[in-house]
Structure formats: C-alpha cells, structure tokens
Chain A
Amino acid sequence: MKNNQQTLPVSGGKLKHVFVLSTAMLSFISFWKAAAIVLCDFGSSAYYSGSIAMNAFGAAFPWFVLGVMLFAGVMLSVYMESCLMFTRGGVYVVVREAMGSVMAKLSVSALLFDYILTGPISSVTAGIYLGALLANLLPLAGLNWPISPRIFAVVFAVTVTVYFWRANIRGVKESSDNNVKIIAFVSVVAVILISWSIYTLCQRDNIILPPFLPELTDHALGWTKNIPWLKTAGIIGFIMAFGHSIVALSGLETLAQVYRDLEDPKYPNLKKTVITIFIFSIIFTGGVTFLAALVIPAEHMPQYADNMLGGLAMELQGPYVARLAMQTLVVLSGALMLVGAVNTSFFGSNGVLNRVAEDGILHDWFRQLHPKYGTTYRLINIVASAQILTIFLSGGDIFLIGEAYAFGVLWSITFDTLSMIILRFKKPDEKREFRFPFNIKAGNVYVPIGLSIVFVILLSVVGMNLLTKKIATIGGVSFSIIFFIIFQISEKMNERKAQLLPPDDDKEEKMNTRMESDILKVAGELKRSRRILIPVRNPNSLVHLSYVLENEDDDDTDIIVLSAKIAAGLHAGEETMTDEDREVFRSVILMAEKYGKTVKPIFVFSNDPFYSIAQVAHALKANEIVMGVSGASGAEVQLEKMAMAWGMIKKPEEEIHEVTARVVWAGRQMSYRMR
C-alpha cells in the first residue's frame, strides 16, 4: 500500500469531518403500517365501487364487487411475486425488465392515468358523501341545504386537491402512523356498521338475495350495443359486468411502492401484509357493499346511487338520530380514507414520474426543483392541474370518472401480469422466494399456468372494457398516447443533451449528508446494545454486508457502514463526496432495503483506511468489524493491517474494549480478537 505521508488535521486523535448519510429509506415499517398504507388507497374504493357497478348493470352489483375482491387476492399474489423479485419495483420497473423501454413507457402512461384519476374520484366521492350528510344534518339545526350535491362535491374536491397540491409542493411527507390510525378508525366503523346491518337484516321477515345476472344498461354496453351477437354469449355479460366492477381493484400498485419500506424479514412480512389487505378488503369493500344491497330497499336505492354506504347507514333499523350518527361515522371514515387517497395520488404519480425520469425518459424541464422547497413542483403542478380539470369536466359525476378510472387500473395490472409471465422465461434462474401457484417445471423454467389464466381473464376484461367504456377508451387511449409521445420526445432530447451536460445529481434517492466535526457525535446516535462496523468501498463487493444483514437483528444491533476514502493533500472543510462515493452508498441502501434492516452509513476521508476503521471502531465502541476480502492483499494481510492500526490507536493508560475483526468472503471467514 502506498505510504501516504499527508495527514488530516486531527485533534487528540479524534476523527474529524465525518459525513453521516440520512435518507428516509433507511427506516423500515411493520407489516401493519404497510397494510394500512395500501388500504388507505385500495380500501377507499369501497365508497364508490358498488355505486359505479350498480349504475352499469343494476342489482347484481354486490356479487361482482365481491368477486372482484376475491380476484384482488389473486392479483395480490401476482404483486407478491413481482415485489420479491424487485425490491424497488412497481409496474414500470417490472415491465421494463420484461418487455423493454417502449412497453414500459406505455404501462407508465396507463398507470399515470390511474393515479391522476384517483384524486378526482376520491375527492368527488368524499364531497358527495359529505354533501349528503350535510343535507341530513343541517335541517336539524333549522338550516336549509339548497346546494346541489354534485356542485358541492366539485367545490369540495377542488379544495382538497388544492390543499394537497400545496402540501406536496412544500414536500410534506405521508405519515404511515396516520394511515394506521385511519384504518383503525375505519375498522371500528366497519364493525359497527356490519353488526348493525346484520341486526337490521335479522329484524326483517325475509331477506332477498340480489340477482346474480347483470342487466347492463345501454350506456354500460358501450359500442357492443351495436354488436347483437355478443349479447347471446352469456359469459360475455359476466365479463362486461366484471369489467365495470374492476374499479374496486384500484390501489394495488401501492403495495409495490411500499414493499421497499417493509422491515425484515421481508417475505414473511409481505405475506402478512397481503393477507391483512385481502381480509380487510373482502370484509369491508366486498362485505359492506353486499350488506348495502341487502339492507337498502330497492325502491330507495336510486337516492343513494352515488353514496351507497351513507345510504346503508340511513336504512338501518333504529332511531333516526342513531342512524344519522352512523352516517356521520361512515362519512367521516370515508372522508379520511378518500382524502388520504388524494394525497397518495400526488405522491404516487410524482414517484412514478421521477422513476421514469431516472432512466432519462423525462426531460429535465419536468424535474426542475422548486427554488424554496426542493420538490419537483412542475410534475406536481401537472398532476394537480389534470386532476382539477377532470373534476370540473366531470361535474361531480363519479360514474363518469369511474368509467375512465377503470382503464388505468386494468391496463397497469394487465401489463404487470404479462411481464411476470415473460420474466419466468427471460429470467428463469432469478431467485424467487414466492411463485404464483400452478406452474409446470420444464428444465429450469417454471411454466406459469396460473399466471397465464389470470392474464387471459384480464385480457378478456381489457377487451370488453375497450368496447363497453367509450369514455375510458377514448380518454385513456388518448392520454396514454399523449404521454407516450411526451416520453419519446423527452428521451430523444435527453440523449442529445447527455454528452454536453454533467449528469443530473437529483437521483431518486435523496442522499442528505450532514457533516459532523467529531465521530463521537455520531456515537451518541447509537442506541442498541451491539454495534457492528462494516467498511465498504466497492459497490460490487458487498458480500460481507449481506452476511451481516442476513445474520444480525437490527432491533438489538446498530449496523454502521463506513466508507473511508483515501485522499491526499486535504485541507480542512474542502472534502466532498463524489458521485462514485455516493454510488457505494446507493448500493448499501439497496441492500438494506432488500433485507429490510436499518443501517447507519458514514463517510470519512483518510490517508489510511485501516487507521480510520480502527478509529471509528474505537470511537463508536464497535463489538465487531466485518470486512470484505481484498483481492489485492488477501484476508491475512487485511487482518495484519487491522491489528497494526488497532495497536496505533491504543493508548497505554486507556482501557480499550475488545473488538473482533472479521474478513468475510464467499462461504469463508477469518477473524481476530483485537484487545
């Protein structure tokens, strides 16, 4: 090793100029929180899916909403396989890996359509529920409520959208704690509503189950109205009805976004998340919609066409005041979930567009940062503007929005499913902790029979929806084409610019670094009983980090990742991290996300890495130092250098704790107890 005689300014042997990395992605969440985040989006469809389905094909709607919720279990399993393959996944990444950039752009366009319409359908629905409640409450106070429900819904929806527009411009982050509270409250309301509904039904002499056969309206038939032979095939009607109910599946993509935040152990926690989401949605979206169909008399149903769960509350057996209280709880729970979904739509669409932008597919103009808040305000402005325009164009009609909404939902899950099938053949050796069931092993390929069946179902629904939902087809296809063209043009412009300008360092991962004047300040941030120090330098050589993340529990162990860069001729305060240095930490963060374990990355400049490792280990009272093997020198030489460095930092009068230095490489390790 080169003997670099230049030294950093040191004071009393302390390490100066320590960079500590802080990024939101280094904190992980429990499966409860993950499920709550998904349900705040996915579960909110309970408030409008029944209404939209009923508007399309009449009284058979609860069967189909329940059927879609059962199908949601199937789709959750598809997402499970894709999440476990790609820690930072989602439709865009999965489709890009399977089918390439062009199809990925198309899928993202459909997904954006989904996200942009999530806001209007959620906020308008919340407005309608609130308007209906006010129409019931205000007369009790002697006030008339002359405002049309739809006008009120539009005003409310625009207000909510503007609120979240500003919040996202300012960079207000979603809180998973709030999501848990909302779901907990909704669960309590759901239990009361279900119990009371069952009681109401028990008071009735006869309970008539809803008819099973859908009666599609002319509007719901769309262009197929002019294709008589289609009506003779019974199954076609079921597919059409299923297609009109598919809006209940909106929000599943959130699972792919939230997976990277899921704590260790990833796979078991993902299973628990999926099961929780499935059970909740069956009971809430499926079950409560069904109870609404049973409890609300057929002759009253038209007045609750667009606020079915509010109608359910008002048709329960009991005093008016109690029913009004129940309606208030239903509206409150709905408003919380639906308004939360508006925020998710901003967050989700911004996230997807930033991910697309990483691949150079979006022109830098879109990714310009707000001068004050540092957010991608132009993307947020585009999303907000599109949402507000949609709200005004819809005039508060959730059926109009719902029809268009289904396009984005359906196409994104269809693209995802097809990609998972292709990846079985394209990447047969890729490690999969979970495979969608029903496969036939042929050589090293698990031929996906189950996935293929799901794809066929989705494709048939896609086909039917293209024919039956005129607005969705025209709007969705136009939107997708427009965005696809924007992506293509942006990509070409970026390619021309690539040679002229330095790379944009506004990467997806916000790597905030703070500089500490003394390593001991970092020591104060470590709270756990054990501490392991992991030196890293090469982003492609992290076997030792993987070893620690696999074997250690971050509940009782602080895992500190140290990058010590050799730098000569340094002057205090001039040291900065380069892109190469950040690349190391990006790999570290990706690995930490894969295992769902928290790490503390720190970066130091040094003229001798072993000396700085010893200094940091001593300062932080590390119990263990785990190094990767150096191809240049070998494990023995590394431990010899470590021993020498440890000797140099020891002071005769100081009681020094024992540290185990370990070198880990493929299947082997060598260790030394430093005293």
Chain B
Amino acid sequence: MSNITLTSLMTPGSIFFLDDSLDSSYGKKEALSFLASHLKDEVPRDVASTELEELLQMSGDSQQLHASSLYLAFAKFPELRDIHSVLGISRKGFDNGGNSPVKAVLVSLVPRNSAFFQKHLDFLSSINSLFTDEFVSKIAEAADPQAVYEMLAS
C-alpha cells in the first residue's frame, strides 16, 4: 500500500470543477494551464509557467494508458520534498483524441530523487487503482469540492 494518499496531499481547496472555472470550449491545454496556476507557489522559482505546462503535457500524453477518463500529468523537480497535487473535474468531459472523454485531470509536482522514486511509483499505482471510470463518473456528479474530497477519503 502506498504511504501517500490523495487526501493527505490535498484539501477541498485543491479540487476544482473546470466547467465552473473555464469557458465552455476548454480543452486539455486550458485545463492544464488552469490547474498549474494553482500549483505555482510550490514550483521552484526559476521554472516559468509555460515551461511547467509543457512538462505537464508531455508527461500526461506519454503516460496515458489505454482508454481512461483520467488524465494524469506530473512534473519532477529536485528541489521538492513532497508531492503537491491539484485535481480538476470536468462534468461534461473533454476530448483527448480517444473514445472516452476525459473527466478528471490530476496534476502533480513530484520530487525528483532516487529515494522518493518508489513512493512516486506507489502513488501512481494507487491513483490508477482509485480512479476507475466508475469512480470518475461518480466524482463528476458530485455537488462540490467538499463532496469530492469526502469520496476520496472514503
């Protein structure tokens, strides 16, 4: 079992409904930009926001496994000591080139060091275990971030 749980990394304030925050034509790029902006305080100072968005998109596109409604993106920095995550939920879903629309975007900043690597992998494993299509559909129907947080905690 991973030592890291999402609820230990996030608060309800880290959970956003993208439909409420972005204009109706948003896609993956806009979602990543929006979520990355909420992590800017954790990002090392010399990394520009555009660079962060590029890193996130690269990792998200390369890590995508088979049809999934979760888009998982992370960027690694040696300066970090812990994982910092924000979760974006899209009630209507957006197209990412596949059949299933993406309804959840998890963006994380991850420490880049060998001692943390096992934890990072455990985190990825538990995220994918938790965010089944069924679970993503449930959280997409949640009323507010607090409800989503409670679902993550249960």
Q: Find chain A residues with CB under 8 A from B143 CB.
A: none
Min C-beta distance of B120 to chain A, whole Å = 8
Q: Cβ of A259 < 8 Å from any Cβ of B?
A: no
Would A641 and B65 be within 8 Å (CB), given that A5-B100, A675-B1 are in contact? yes
Please, which residues of chain B bring their CB within 8 A of the CB of A30?
none
Q: Which of A7, A607, A646 interacts with B125 by CB under 8 Å?
A: A646
CB < 8 Å: which of A1, A6, A7, A650 contacts B64? A1
Most B-side CB within 10 Å, residue of A611, A640, A646: A640
Report B-chain residues with C-beta under 8 Å of the C-beta of A633. Answer: 62
A5-B98, A643-B122, A672-B118 are contacts. A648–B129 as well, Cβ < 8 Å? yes
Report whether B122 and A637 are in contact in the complex, using a CB–CB cutoff of 8 Å. Answer: no
Q: How far is the CA of A607 from the CA of B96 in the complex (A)?
A: 17
Among candidates B67, B127, B132, residue contacting A5 with C-beta atoms closer than 8 Å? B67
**When the two chains form their complex, are residues A648 and B65 in contact, meaning their CB atoms are under 8 A apart?**
yes
Q: Total contacts A to B, CB within 8 angstroms?
A: 81
B97 contacts partner chain A, Cβ-Cβ < 8 Å = yes
**Chain A residue contacts of B68, Cβ below 8 A:** 648
- Chain B residue numbers with a CB within 8 Å of A5 are 66-67, 97-100
Interface residue? A135 (CB, 8 A): no
Number of interface residues of B (CB under 8 A): 29
B62 touches A1 (CB 8 A): yes
- Point out the residue from B98, B100, B117, B124 that lies within 8 Å of A644, measured CB to CB: B124
Highest count of chain A CB atoms <10 Å: which of B2, B124, B125, B126: B125
A650 pairs with B66, CB closer than 8 A:
no
State whether B118 touches A637 (Cβ < 8 A): no
Interface string of B112-123 (1 = CB under 8 A from A): 000001101110
Say which residue of A607, A644, A672, A674 sits within 8 Å of B63 (CB atoms). A644
A345 to B148, CA, bound (A): 77
In the complex, are the beta carbons of B66 and A644 less than 8 A apart? Answer: no
Q: Is B105 an interface residue (CB 8 A)?
A: no
> For the complex, is B128 an interface residue (Cβ under 8 Å from A)?
yes
B117 contact set on A, CB distance < 8 A: 636, 639, 672
Partner pick for B128 among A6, A7, A647, CB 8 A cutoff: A647
Chain A: CB-nearest residue to B68 = A648
Query: Smallest distance from the beta carbon of A7 to chain B beta carbons, Å?
Result: 6
Q: A5-B100, A644-B72 are in contact. Are A611 and B122 (CB under 8 A)?
A: no
Report the interface size for chain A: residues with CB under 8 A from the other chain. Answer: 28
**Beta-carbon contacts of A616-647 to B below 8 Å, as 1s and 0s?**
00000000000000000100110111011111
Name B97's contact: one of A3, A6, A7, A608 (CB within 8 Å).
Answer: A3
Partner of B66, one of A607, A647, A672, A673: A607
B66 touches A4 (CB 8 A): yes
Return the chain B residue nearest A1 by Cβ: B62
Complex-state Cα separation, A608 to B98, whole angstroms: 14
Asked whether, in the complex, the Cβ of A611 is within 8 Å of the Cβ of B65, the reply is yes
A652 within 8 A of B: yes
Q: Do the beta carbons of B121 and A672 come within 8 Å of each other?
A: yes
Q: Could you say which residues of chain A place their CB within 8 Å of the CB of B100? A: 5
Interface presence of A610 (CB below 8 A): yes
The residue among A3, A6, A611, A637 with the most chain B CB atoms within 10 A of its own CB is A3
Q: Are B67 and A645 in contact (CB under 8 A)?
A: no
Contact between A652 and B129, CB atoms less than 8 A apart: yes
14 A–B contact pairs at CB < 8 A?
A1-B63, A1-B64, A6-B99, A610-B65, A636-B117, A640-B63, A640-B121, A640-B124, A641-B65, A644-B124, A644-B125, A646-B125, A673-B118, A675-B2
The 5 closest A-B pairs by CB, nearest first: A647-B128, A5-B98, A647-B125, A643-B121, A647-B129
